[in-house]
Amino acid sequence: MKKLMNAPADIVVESLRGMAAAHPELRVDLAHRIVYRAGGPVPGKVGLISGGGAGHEPLHGGFVGPGMLDAAIAGEVFTSPVPDQILEATKNVDAGAGVVHIVKNYTGDVMNFEMAAEIAAAETGVEVVSVITDDDVAVQDSLYTAGRRGVGVTVLAEKLAGAAAETGRPLAEVAEVVRKVNAGGRSMGMALTSCTVPAAGKPTFDLPDTEMEIGIGIHGEPGRRRVPLAPAREIAEMLVEPILSDLDFTGGSGNDGVIAFVNGMGATPLLELYLMYGEVAALLEKAGVRVVRSLVGPYITSLDMAGCSVTLLKVDDDLVRLWDAPVQTPGLRWGV
């Protein structure tokens, strides 16, 4: 295992410590492993939080800031945060307007966020609405999941619901943005190499030099199939086709096109991600899908896995406006 780290057990907290040093606009609670905006909760604004296992950076801590999250909670690598952490963040971001939890669909996350929401309501009266993302078309159930896995759509949901919260929308409407984004978004990923969990010290799975895994999850969970290495053009087809088969992205009322998102898994450089985006864009044009916004880069990663995922999201005028709204976080930043 070759990683820039000290002891494997300290990687998450030491990374958060570096983040705190690099970003004075954030406040990091190292004991609870929570990243907050330094300014504290915004009076009257719905609090928006997310979290999950570490190893997917910049998700979620890199998305804390004006126009996006109020706080992000990190568990151990690929391990859900515990209810106490989530409860702590929930209480601290509440400014009287309630709190939305964005939860990726993994059994541990769903259970722990749910428990935290119940305790928050019972003990403190904070109103919490949880919305689950489950956009991965690759597999129905998985190693850590009942139902579909939550992947790339989570990034888009955090941006779009963050903009909705920032402009003063009430709790139910902010939660509705997340639901709408999850309903209109689909993803599919692939891996060229395995990731290596620091505590394990060796690759999560074996993938021969001549093969790749199509439909991979963001924790190295098995995908749909192993296939021989193929040109980027064919890989793009293997990712786009299942997405377009799962949901109609070409028409329907109120459909003003899509946001197309090509995500890097952690060890794939931008040179290759842009090349993949070119292939995806060409396929979408051929399929009659109109791309109105795009995002290319490593935003929801899987440690040092090489590979990529494609996410498509149906948008209407409102979602495009929310997308274009200012955002100022370490990971996403524009319009401010």
237 forms part of the interface with its own copies (CB under 8 A): no
Residue 101 annotated as catalytic:
no
- Dist. CA 235–CA 163, nearest whole Å: 33
β-partners of residue 136 are: 187
User: Of 43, 125, 228, 231, which lies in the binding site for its own copies, with binding defined by CB under 8 A?
Assistant: 231
β-partners of residue 29 are: 34
304 forms part of the interface with its own copies (CB under 8 A): yes
Min dist CB 295 to its own copies, Å, is 8
7 forms part of the interface with its own copies (CB under 8 A): yes
- Dist. CA 72–CA 48, nearest whole Å: 9
Min dist CB 308 to its own copies, Å, is 6
User: Of 2, 206, 228, 251, which lies in the binding site for its own copies, with binding defined by CB under 8 A?
Assistant: 2
197 forms part of the interface with its own copies (CB under 8 A): no
334 forms part of the interface with its own copies (CB under 8 A): yes
72 forms part of the interface with its own copies (CB under 8 A): no
306 forms part of the interface with its own copies (CB under 8 A): yes
Residues numbered 259 to 298 that lie near its own copies (CB under 8 A) are 266-279, 281-282, 291, 294, 296, 298
- Dist. CA 59–CA 54, nearest whole Å: 8
Residue 219 annotated as catalytic:
yes
- 293's CB contacts (< 8 A; 6+ apart) are 259, 260, 315, 320, 323, 324
188 forms part of the interface with its own copies (CB under 8 A): no
Structure tokens at 59: 């998700």
Min dist CB 298 to its own copies, Å, is 7
Min dist CB 7 to its own copies, Å, is 8
Q: Residues with catalytic annotation?
A: 56, 219
Question: What is the contact surface with its own copies in residues (CB under 8 A)?
Answer: 2-7, 11-12, 14-23, 54-55, 57-58, 62, 192-193, 209, 212, 229, 231-233, 235, 266-279, 281-282, 291, 294, 296, 298, 301, 303-304, 306-308, 328, 330, 333-336
